[in-house]
């Protein structure tokens, strides 16, 4: 049911491994910081951010990583290359977690990546992202290859085919562009883009298809769906909405997601425990099928349920 027939690739970014067969490694939770509306900004973005608040977010996520075994990364969002320099310097001064550079347009992303190269940070940075809707895709691929980017995320979507098969078409389109340029990357992983909660099921199905076809680690952003579901807050308030958000992230972790983009880092205190349970759930399901336990010694199954692991070993 869960075991994949294709040999699975394992990516390693900043010491964090992800990919492989379902249940082998913990899901990576990539939480955003410095995004629009982040409470680290007390006024206009150009006026700077509250460093104490940002430090608390980063250190809380690191603490949750240590407690749960669920790996954490930072999705650093910026509008300009200068912002990226400021935010990258700050994040790397506070935490050792891996991170990505994330911007809507190419120019600041390239500047952020170039700054990471200058600072010797390319081992712990991934490029977020190459997309099917970028009009000058080959130029972008050529530029990040020349910069020396090692780890790259592909966002695969086909507006003409919004079924899981469209994500396969989108992935192939991006891979073809990479091949045409002649670029080589140490790690490639795929985000099967989604914009509402139920449609995340399409991502899980597409992720399995991608893993079966290419063996790539896969991801999506379930938070896109939950954060856009305004009606949930109107019906049930923050607690009800946050329960739905946590459930969506956990379901995605269980269903062929090696990484989830989980939304603002402020939500880490609810997301990490939910994902930890999903990871332990999946690892146990895989054990029932294969009698194999997770590869990562810090997996949530080992960290949170050691007595149960000993029972499993005796079966």
Summarize pLDDT for 194-231 with one digit per residue, the tens.
889 999 999 999 999 999 999 999 999 999 999 999 99
Total length of the chain: 315
Name the band, by pLDDT with cuts 50, 70 and 90, for residue 290.
very high
| Whether domain 10-313 has CATH 1.10.8.420 | no
Distance, in Å, from the CA atom of 294 to the CA atom of 108, rounded to the nearest integer, reads 38
Q: What are phi and psi of 190, to 5 degrees?
A: -125, 130
Structure tokens at 114: 């170039």
**Could you tell me what percent of the chain has a pLDDT over 70?**
100
Contact present, 178 and 148 (Cβ < 8 Å): no
Of the chain, the end-to-end C-alpha distance in Å amounts to 20
Q: What is the pTM of this model?
A: 0.97
* Bond preceding residue 129 cis, omega within 30 of 0: yes
């Amino acid at each position: 049911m869960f075991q994949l027939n294709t040999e699975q690739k394992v990516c390693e970014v900043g010491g964090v491994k992800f990919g492989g067969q379902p249940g082998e490694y913990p899901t990576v939770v990539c939480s955003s910081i410095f995004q629009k509306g982040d409470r680290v900004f007390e006024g206009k973005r150009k006026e700077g951010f509250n460093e104490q608040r940002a430090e608390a977010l980063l250190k809380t996520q690191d603490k949750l990583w240590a407690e749960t075994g669920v790996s954490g990364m930072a999705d650093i969002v910026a509008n300009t290359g200068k912002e990226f320099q400021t935010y990258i310097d700050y994040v790397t001064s506070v935490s050792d977690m891996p991170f990505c550079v994330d911007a809507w347009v190419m120019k600041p992303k390239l500047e952020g990546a170039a700054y990471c190269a200058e600072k010797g940070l390319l081992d712990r940075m991934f490029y977020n992202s190459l997309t099917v809707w970028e009009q000058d895709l080959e130029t972008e691929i050529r530029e990040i290859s020349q910069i020396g980017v090692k780890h790259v995320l592909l966002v695969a979507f086909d507006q003409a085919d919004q079924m899981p098969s469209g994500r396969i078409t989108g992935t192939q389109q991006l891979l073809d562009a990479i091949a045409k340029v002649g670029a080589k990357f140490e790690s490639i992983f795929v985000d099967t883009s989604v914009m509402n909660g139920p449609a995340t099921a399409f991502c899980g199905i597409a992720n399995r298809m991608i893993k079966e076809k290419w063996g790539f680690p896969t991801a999506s952003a379930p938070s896109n769906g939950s954060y856009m579901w305004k009606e949930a807050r109107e019906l049930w308030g923050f607690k009800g909405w946050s329960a739905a958000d946590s459930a969506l992230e956990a379901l995605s972790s269980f269903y062929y997601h090696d990484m989830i983009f989980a939304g603002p880092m402020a939500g880490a205190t609810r997301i990490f425990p939910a994902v930890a349970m999903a990871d332990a759930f999946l690892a146990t399901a895989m054990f029932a099928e294969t009698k194999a336990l997770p590869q990562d010694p810090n997996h949530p199954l080992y960290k949170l349920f050691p007595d149960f692991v000993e029972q499993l070993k005796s079966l």
